[in-house]
Homo-oligomer: A and B are copies of this chain.
Amino acid sequence: MEPSNKSPSARPPTIAWIGEADGHLELLDQRSLPERVEILRLDTVEGVWSAIQTLAVRGAPAIGCAAAYGMVIAARRADSMPKLKAAAEYLKSSRPTAVNLMWAVDRVMSTIKEPGTPAVIRALEESRRIHAEDAAMCDAIGRHGAPLIHAGDGILTHCNAGRLATGGSGTALAIVYEARRRGVPFKVYADETRPLLQGARLTAWELMDAGIDATLICDSMAAMLMAQKKIRLVIVGADRIAANGDTANKIGTYSLAIAAAAHGVTFAVAAPSSTFDLSLADGSGIPIEERDPAEITAGFGRVTAPPGVKVFNPAFDLTPARLIHSIVTERGIITPVNTQTVRATLNSQ
């Protein structure tokens, strides 16, 4: 199983392992986007740790793939199992809340019983499998979701749920890329996504890089575009989805869902089945992380708020299932969205 060829761009991939067991990891350095396209060449565990920790690579699936390849480097260097286990724990500490990171590192570790060249080869095989499975998952989401896009559509997306966040073509944007592959004409509006501007820095970049008609807006402009009938479909990713379909995603998603409902605009979520947390009956149990006030008060090189001002900076918000037209997964499309249809789709295959 090889990583998908359906990359939306022939230009630098988000994540690539170059060579064989003695090779190295290359990452498209997302800290330099959108101003410069720079490739990080990594052949130390410390380098991979730092790349994850400083957001050179971000997005749960992409972090998982990068960390898996990091374990190949760790296996190559470790001369004992305790040392390899220490390296695994070290890699996991780069983003302590990233579940995919833990899962990918553990999965590679489980293939290794003792250090040595065979272990390195097995680690690389497992990492490539993780990467290829991720790309296949993206492509499946793209295939299931593509019919949501009609010729002439205006499509709005939020944050970055694209190829820069995964080992493949993305989640929300996989649908966009697949519709384009099928020759459907459309245009995309990208919310800049305050406070960290992933939409402006990453989504606008990757859409332009893929030759897609993209227009950047501030988050607060989406409702006006809907009133002007310039948006027919909203597609966003998800950070966590409860059993009934309530969805936690980047702050601002809920506001879009309300505006979409008020204008009869279709609101869709795209996410792998691993995003569902079936232990939660609904979204009320999803914890909402609050982040550093400086992201809002001094985010881009300048202080733009009074010193000492109180700030509310939630990373996510919760969109209730009743506002969601469909959830697109690699196992199929869930619509309407409720506990029964979620269960039915996740249990399929």
Contact = CB atoms under 8 A, between A and B. Distances in A.
Interface of A: 33-35, 189, 191-195, 197, 200-201, 204-205, 208, 213-225, 227, 251-252, 254-255, 258-259, 261-262, 296-297, 299-314, 317-318
A226 to B, nearest CB: 9
23 contacts: A35-B307, A189-B312, A192-B194, A192-B296, A200-B297, A201-B305, A205-B305, A205-B306, A208-B309, A216-B296, A216-B297, A216-B305, A216-B310, A218-B296, A220-B251, A221-B312, A223-B317, A224-B314, A224-B318, A227-B254, A227-B317, A227-B318, A258-B262
Contacts of A204: 305-306, 309
Contacts of A35: 303, 307
Given A224-B317, A262-B262, 15 more contacts: A34-B304, A34-B309, A189-B312, A197-B304, A201-B305, A205-B305, A213-B310, A216-B297, A216-B312, A218-B252, A222-B255, A223-B255, A224-B318, A300-B302, A301-B301
A200 B300 CA distance: 13
A304 B296 CA distance: 14
Contacts of A262: 258, 261-262
A225 B312 contact: yes
Among A214, A218, A219, the one with the most B-chain Cβ atoms within 10 Å of its Cβ is A218
A251 to B, nearest CB: 6
Contacts of A201: 304-305
A223 B258 contact: yes
A307 B216 contact: no
A249 to B, nearest CB: 11
A203 to B, nearest CB: 10
A216 to B, nearest CB: 5
Contacts of A220: 191, 193-194, 219-220, 251-252, 255
B303 A301 contact: no
Given A34-B303, A254-B227, A258-B258, A221 B314 contact: yes
B251 A255 contact: no
A201 B312 CA distance: 16
B222 A195 contact: no
A218 B205 contact: no
A205 B303 CA distance: 12
A224 B254 CA distance: 7
B194 A311 contact: no
A220 B33 CA distance: 23
Contacts of A303: 34-35
A306 B217 contact: no
A259 to B, nearest CB: 5
Nearest to A311: B216
Contacts of A193: 220
